[in-house]
Amino acid sequence: MPKYLRIGIQIFRNAIGDIAVIDYGLWKDDDNKVGFTIAQPIAVFLIWAIWLLYIFFMLIVMLNFIIAEVGDTYNAVKE
C-alpha cells in the first residue's frame, strides 16, 4: 500500500474516533530496511495538520448549527 494512502486511512480512522496508538514504525518502505526514513516525519506532520484542520472546521460547522437551532427555537417561542 502506498505511503500516502496509509496516511489518509490513518487520518480517517482518527477522525471517526479510533484511539489506537499509531505504529509509526510500520510506515517505512518494505524494500528499504532503514529504521527512520525521510517520509516518516512528513507523514506524522501531515496526520497532525490534517487532523487539526478537520477538528477546526467541524467546530465551526457545529457552532453554526447550534446558533441556527437556538435562533429557530427563539423565533418559535417568540411567536
**Domain spans of the chain?**
3-78
pLDDT of residue 73: 94
- How would residue 25 be classed by pLDDT, with cut points 50, 70 and 90? low
- Supply the pTM of this predicted model: 0.50
Q: Percent of the chain, pLDDT > 70?
A: 72
Q: Is the dihedral of CA 33, 2, 17, 48 positive or negative?
A: positive
Helix axes 39-78, 3-15, angle to 10 degrees: 30
- Whether 34 shows a pLDDT value over 60: the answer reads no
All three cell numbers of 57: 472546521
| Average pLDDT of the chain, as a whole number | 77
